[in-house]
Amino acid sequence: MTLLLTLLFVCLVLLAAAALFTHFVARKVEKSFPPRGEWVEVEGERIHYRRMGQGPAIVLVHGLGGQSGNFNYLPLQELAQRWTLVLPDRPGSGYSPRRDDGKANIAAQARLVAGFIRAMRFASPPLLVGHSLGGAIALSVALQEPDCIAGLALIAPLTHFDPNVPAPFRIMAIRTPRLRRFVAHTIAAPLAILNTRAVLQALFAPHAAPADFALRGGGLYGLRPASFYGAATDMAAVETDLPAQQERYGELRMPVGILFGDGDRVLDWRSNGEALRAKVAQAQLKVIPGGHMILVSEPTATAAWLEECARAAHGDLCKSAALTSVNP
């Protein structure tokens, strides 16, 4: 009995220490990296976003456990000379809090993205870019509200449901909200730090993760309890909509571009990229050397492909802009 009480006491002390460490890290991260964008409220959710450039619009939606900083390795300033770039943090990610966990499923997040696009008051519908889980959300936008976007550009997208959780995200596979919150506020940050090398290897392989990803790519923000809880809630909600959604892809009529890395260890390009292309007649699939984070490890190739997708989606607008620049 004494031994049992001693073990219980030690466990409580360790959990308390983990909780203190987690909140210390969260405060340091939030103080060191304050938000630098703008805010808009959509359906009761306060969304942080960055906007830059001029020309036809491109909206870029990040993936599971990520944030808009994941796109920072693309030549954004160069792209902004030709396009209006808008990079939101999905609710529960980055700088955007999530007020309602009931809006974590793919269909609900897609409605938030559509509402966000309307709130931006673009002159014409944008190209919608989605990475990983952001790809599934972008596809849902296209199925629910096709008139609000001009086309899709999907980077390593999640398109078909697989009950097997990819290795980098297994720690987040927690179905019970209370348990998710408990883990988020205690052991999530210490475990994330201990597993950083293995997780980055899985995400970036066959390439190495850039040394500055924690800062430039926003990786440090994933150490906050809110980020872990938001990502775990997103993951738990995937199966709510994706199985039914994947049966509707044949309804898509807009331009659809798909980009995958041939060595992706998170989402296989055949079961997600080729499977989508087989259901969407006009879809164009491109496979390049790289892994799941090709937007970081292959920024030049990704940006060139992205501009191809933008020109396909904004064809008439691009022609008008070109004529205007030639005949001012």
Mean of pLDDT values over 11-15: 64
Using DSSP bridges, classify how beta strands 284-288 and 151-155 pair: parallel, antiparallel or unpaired. unpaired
The residue among 278 and 22 whose pLDDT is bigger is: 278
pTM of the model: 0.93
Helices (H), 132-187: 133-144, 177-185
| pLDDT (0 to 100) of residue 323 | 34
The domain spans of the chain are 37-164+237-314
C-alpha–C-alpha distance, residues 44 and 50, integer Å: 19
Instruction: Give the pLDDT band (50/70/90) at residue 29.
Output: confident
% of the chain surpassing 70 pLDDT: 91
pLDDT at 6 exceeding the cut of 70: no
Mean of pLDDT values over 1-15: 63
The residue among 7 and 196 whose pLDDT is bigger is: 196
pLDDT at 312 exceeding the cut of 70: yes
pLDDT at 328 exceeding the cut of 60: no
pLDDT at 5 exceeding the cut of 70: no
State how far the alpha carbon of 207 is from the alpha carbons of 52, 73, 75, 215, 263, in Å.
29, 15, 19, 18, 9
pLDDT, tens digit, for every residue of 302-311?
999 999 999 9
Closest CA to 260 of 131, 89, 83: 131
| pLDDT (0 to 100) of residue 194 | 86
| pLDDT (0 to 100) of residue 321 | 45
| pLDDT (0 to 100) of residue 311 | 96
pLDDT, tens digit, for every residue of 233-245?
999 999 999 999 9
C-alpha–C-alpha distance, residues 233 and 114, integer Å: 21
Answer whether 37's CB lies under 8 Å from 49's CB. Answer: yes
pLDDT, tens digit, for every residue of 122-157?
999 999 999 999 999 999 999 999 999 999 999 999
Q: Which CATH class is domain 37-164+237-314?
A: alpha beta
3-state secondary structure 239-271: HHHHHHHCCCHHHCCCCEEEEEECCCCCCCHHH
Q: What average pLDDT is seen over the chain?
A: 90
**Cis bond leading into 97, ω under 30°?**
no
pLDDT, tens digit, for every residue of 210-228?
999 998 998 888 889 999 9
C-alpha–C-alpha distance, residues 136 and 109, integer Å: 10
| pLDDT (0 to 100) of residue 324 | 36
- Between CA 215 and CA 222, with CA 216 as vertex, the angle to 5 degrees is 55
The residue among 291 and 325 whose pLDDT is bigger is: 291
20-24, 78-82, 192-196: lowest mean pLDDT where?
Answer: 20-24
